[in-house]
Amino acid sequence: MRASSRPSSLRRRLTGGLAGAGALLAGLAGVPHAAAASTPSTAPVDVYPAVGPTTSILDHRALLGDVVEPQWYESNIPFVDLPDKDVQSTYYYRWRTYKEALKYTGPKDGWILSEFLGPVGYSAPFGGINAAAAHHVYEGRWLRDSRYVDDYLRYWLQGTGSEDKEPNDGKGTTSTDWAHQYSFWSVDAAVARAKVTGDWDFVEGMLPELTKQYEQWKGNFDPALGLYWQTPVWDAMEYTASSYQSDDPYHGGEGYRPTINAYQYGDALALGTLYQRTGDSAKASHYRAEAASLEKAMEAWLWDDDAKFYEHVARDDNPTRAKLADREEIGFVPWYFDMPPAKNSVAWAQLTDPQGFAAPFGPTTVERRSPWFMHDALSGCCRWDGPSWPYATSQTLTALANLLDDYPAQSYVSRDDYYDLLRGYALTQRKNGVPYVAEAHSPDEDRWIYDSAGHSEDYNHSTYTDLVLNGLLGVRPQTDATLELEPLVPTGWDWFALENLAYHGHNVSVVWDRDGSHYGKGAGLTVWVDGVQTAHQAQLTALTVRVRRDAPAPLPTLVDDFANVSETGYPRATASYTWSGDKPENAIDGQDFHLDVPSTRWTTWSSPNREDWLEVDLGAPTRIADLRVSFYDDGGGVRTPDSFALQYADAAGTWHDVPGQTRTPAVPQRGVLNRVVVDPPVTASRVRILPMRNDGGAVGITALQSWRPVLDTAHVAFRGLVDGAVPVRPDQPVTVAADVTSTEKFRRASVSLLLPTGWTAQPLTATQIDRLDPGATFTARWSVTPPTDVDLSADAPVRVVVTPDKSPGRTASAVAPTRYTFDPADFPHTLWSDTFDTDRLADYRVDSPFGERAPDFSVHDGALHASGSGRTGALLAAPVTGSAAGTAVVVEPESFAGTQPEDSLFAGLSAGSGDNALLWYNNNFRTSGVDVRVGGSSRGDDVTGGCCASVTWAPGDRFAAVVLGGTLTTWVEHAGTWSRLRTAPVSRGVDPTVLASWSPAVGLRSDGGTLALDRVDVLGR
């Protein structure tokens, strides 16, 4: 059927959620969205990747200890058994912290890794920070499940992490995209990973993006010296020894640094490798030549032949290109990439020098003999002028392993030094006697000095497991069909074991047992591949093992339809009760870790109810087939439930048990992921879980997920979106269009449109694909009409789903929010209007939320004036209440005072000096946001929607505060066009029915001078 054909069946009016015929509806043209529409069953995908044939030498559960979800570790990580239990326990702890840092962001970007477990203001979208991204890739290259790091690399190179950001925004001084916010050796890391996985197709497929990532650093290249420069803070290092010798100790003066030049050297060599593999010898030679040129320039300008070290050279006000007098730990970084010549190995004498970098909890970040050593380091985070820093320790240990394995023998450092440094690093990662990593440690005392509660815990900014595998145990991946083993373990070790190392699509196990008595597998060094012994030798020396290079079997792409990292729009989580320290949204925030602080959980601690529920409102019908629940259990007041119910809501809002459930495990177990396969799947908009304890005690959830396998070969994209959304108006039809493309030919698939409650759709084209060839596009269109009483603040989603007839379990889909643009005409009832032609000030109530003297209010010349000397501010509350159906407060300023810092306008709802929900605009800073006070206390970003929107007011512009239900949206009108500024989920702090009873209000606040308003209108729906 051609896309342009329109059979008579398509002219049927569709009401509810599913618009379009096809297999998803079992031949029906549409069903009400809230009913659980059954769809054909399909075999569920595995939760974890299959390990495959291997050995059974170690007791994995005993090694893991009491971790949550041990099955994840069993399926993903290499297991080690070491004589040094401190090094070993830190190894398993660091896999736990890596798992905690995994964050699922949604269908566009999938998985990323976070640096901090909680959000920070300077991160890229979803919390990505590229400063340690290469560390994340190096560490994660050993995971069997390739989807985590695949997604993460795509995020930085192709996805949201590669998108534009404003330069000079304080979040990367000159960078124009997030992937260049901080220095980042991305190409080297991607190639290092491919050496482990054997999946060269993946990294070669991103060769254009990897090349672009490298080339965009050329803005920092100085052709006169042949070197790159970087600002220390954007090298992830503020307050360094070099920074203190500039006029900006925090950022540091721009300089030619060993770091950025070594990173670019490593990336250039990696590009040479990739271009050679893809048959482009010319480009391979080009990038290898660039690497050689960098190596030569670094020797000429950054190597100090007197200090025998690589050092920072200031870019500005330094005509002689004098080198920094202080050795910094960054001088070891070039060996991370095998960059220096062998003669420069003398630099490593500083590692163990008591006046160099040696420390009980080191190495230090600047040599001890420097006058800047620990300068102000105890005054607060973050100063890299002496503290022991895991980020740098990781680089130094990787560099040291390369020196010992890849360079000629030298007399400065030995394998014992590697082990001593690694063991010291392991012991540094302790707090109260248990494994712990934060931001920076004292070099001489057993304490973390940069360790903020709720911020620094389990800080994912370094490597450790990679240092054990690649360094200590000597697993040296290769580009060919071999694996080199060059262990750096102490010569006195009589045994160690490595099991289930995922390498080139195979399982590798290694045992060293000097006399064969420890493991009973024979004396010497033995290697197994897929459970079959393939190599053996008597001595613990270097060994090359043949391992056939097979890329691992591809794993299915999955989408969690419940995930909402931003906690705005849909899906929405609500609950019958939530402890004050938690949020329902935490259960669907894409993270799953089980810490007390910080937390990502919903709990019912102190609930008065015998039974509570957690609901996810998807906003539009969604296929539910594979639900997964991670219960929180602190071993005290919040425990694993004894049972739980799963329910969906029908069109009338009545809840029913989800049919066709198969649960694994059959009853909830502590520390185990609970999976519910729904067969046949159901389609519903609202789902809830009711976890219950027999004793009525508190329960908690850290993750509630709904996974769906994706049809990778098809792609769906909406047409005609405005700022990423479908524009809508109450009871007004709008055309929704979507394009379907495919990388492979497929036949017969339905294209369905899923809509929110009460919305209607009329197909305008065919919605059944008979055949789609690669390169061709199938376009489906519908006429969609929201109901008259639609919630204009909801941004409810619409979803287009492509379902092949032959494999209905795998779908391709796209989701877009709908977005209403404010129009006063949609609020036809005038509740209050004041044009200030007459003085009606006596009708208003004066509220004082700022605790300041009220300005002198007066009405003259057709405007309200607020004047005063010094700081004044107050609200004028109109003598009416808002409309329960929706209220808009529209205000037109005449002029501002021109004072600073306060020169502000307010509009919204107020119930006195301590209870307000207000739009604010500060004309001095040209910014706008939302303030919410309840009981005299200001509420945070979770209620106000965060700060801030940039606005430049011009005479004639108007502002509007629109309250619908429990949501406050703020708007500005310029040249006749309204634009949304902020969305504030005020209902998180104020019950919507209470909010609707508050008085519409306007306010003025300044530091002297006079502000004036032309008009105030309060409109209702």
- pLDDT at residue 2 above 60? no
- Give every CB contact of residue 778 below 8 A, 6+ residues apart in sequence: 3, 739, 740, 741, 751, 769, 772
Q: What pLDDT does 367 receive?
A: 98
- 987-995 contact pairs (CB < 8 A, 24+): 988/939, 988/942, 988/943, 989/932, 989/934, 989/939, 989/943, 990/915, 990/917, 990/932, 990/934, 990/966, 991/966, 992/965, 992/966, 993/884, 995/909, 995/917, 995/963, 995/966
**Rounded mean pLDDT, 929-954:** 92
In angstroms, the CA 827 to CA 423 distance is 69
Contact at 8 Å (CB) between 810 and 801? Answer: no
CA of 118: how far to CAs of 102, 565, 613, 632, in Å?
A: 12, 11, 25, 18
For the cut 80, the answer to whether the pLDDT of residue 14 exceeds it is: no
Query: For 209-219, b where at least 16 C-beta lie within 10 A, e where not — what string?
Result: bbbebbeebee
Peptide bond just before 774 cis, omega within 30 deg = no
Contacts of 801 (CB under 8 A, 6+ apart): 24, 623, 716, 751, 752, 754, 811, 812, 813
Question: Which CATH fold topology does 714-820 show?
Answer: Immunoglobulin-like (2.60.40)
Q: Flag the least confident range among 34-48, 260-274, 607-621, 918-932.
A: 34-48
d(CA 552, CA 652): 48
Containing H/E element for 611? Answer: none
Lowest mean pLDDT among 41-45, 257-261, 270-274: 41-45
Pull the structure tokens for residue 623.
Answer: 């296929």
Instruction: State the burial class of residue 158 (Cβ atoms within 10 Å of its Cβ: 0-12, 13-18, 19+).
Output: middle
pLDDT digits over 327-364, tens only?
999 999 999 999 999 999 999 999 999 999 999 998 99
Mean per-residue pLDDT, 56-64: 98
Predicted confidence at residue 5, as pLDDT, reads 32
Length of the chain: 1021
In angstroms, the Cα distances linking 389 to 239, 261, 352, 705, 822 are: 13, 21, 17, 36, 51
Q: What is the mean pLDDT of residues 919-927?
A: 97
- Residues 803 and 809: their CA atoms lie apart, in Å, by 8
Each residue's pLDDT tens digit, 106-158: 999 999 999 999 878 899 999 999 999 999 999 999 999 999 999 999 999 99
Phi and psi for 601 in degrees, rounded to 5? -140, 160
What value does the mean pLDDT take over residues 605-621? 96
Predicted confidence band of residue 74 (pLDDT cuts 50, 70, 90): very high
Mean pLDDT of 359-381: 96
Instruction: Say whether pLDDT at 531 is over 90.
Output: yes
Question: Is 90 exceeded by the pLDDT of residue 180?
Answer: yes
pLDDT in tens, 678-705: 999 999 999 999 999 999 999 999 999 9
Q: Please say if the pLDDT value at position 18 is more than 80.
A: no
Mean residue pLDDT of the chain comes to 93
Pairing between strand 227-230 and 221-222? antiparallel
Summarised one tens digit per residue, pLDDT across range 183-192 is 999 999 999 9
Distance, in Å, from the CA atom of 116 to the CA atom of 128, rounded to the nearest integer, reads 9
Percent of the chain with pLDDT over 70: 95
Range 471-489 average pLDDT: 98
Assign 24 a pLDDT band (cuts: 50, 70, 90): very low
- Specify the pairing of strand 726-728 against strand 812-820: parallel
pLDDT reported for residue 153? 98
| CATH fold group of domain 558-709 | Jelly Rolls (2.60.120)
pLDDT tens digit sequence for 794-847: 899 999 999 999 888 899 999 999 999 999 999 999 999 999 999 999 999 999
DSSP states along 932-975: EEETTEE--HHHH--S-EE----TT-EEEEEEETTEEEEEEEET
Spell out the CATH class of 825-1020. mainly beta
Output the pLDDT for position 603: 98
Looking at the chain, the whole-number percentage of residues with pLDDT higher than 90 is 89
Residue 505's nearest CA partner among 54, 74, 138, 144 is: 144
The pTM (predicted TM-score) of the whole model is: 0.90
Beta-strand relationship, 440-441 and 448-450:
antiparallel
pLDDT of residue 22: 29
**Domain 78-472 classification at class level:** mainly alpha
What distance in Å separates the CA atoms of residue 82 and residue 467, rounded to the nearest whole number?
14
pLDDT tops 50 at residue 26: no
Question: How far is the C-alpha of 400 from the C-alpha of 464, rounded, in Å?
Answer: 14
Contact predicate 803/24, CB 8 Å:
yes
d(CA 681, CA 624): 6
Token duo for residue 934 = 């309840």
Q: Where are the domains of the chain?
A: 78-472, 482-546, 558-709, 714-820, 825-1020
Q: Which amino acid is at 789?
A: D
Task: Please give the angle made by the CA atoms of 143, 146 and 150, to the nearest 5 degrees.
Answer: 125
The pLDDT-based confidence of 441 (bands split at 50, 70, 90) is very high
DSSP string, 694-751: TT--B-EEEEEEEEEEB-TTEEEEEES-BTTBEEEBTTB-EEEEEEEEESS-EEEEEE
What's the distance, CA 625 to chain centroid? 25
Does 825-1020 match 558-709 at the fold level?
A: yes
Please check the confidence at residue 29 and state whether its pLDDT lies above 50: no
pLDDT tens sequence across 882-903: 999 999 999 999 999 999 999 9
- Closest by alpha carbon to 791, among 985, 944, 978, 942? 985
Q: What's residue 794's pLDDT?
A: 86
Strands 572-575 vs 714-719: parallel, antiparallel or unpaired = unpaired
DSSP character string of 773-806: -TT--EEEEEEEE--TT--TTS--EEEEEEEESS
Give the pLDDT of residue 169.
Answer: 54
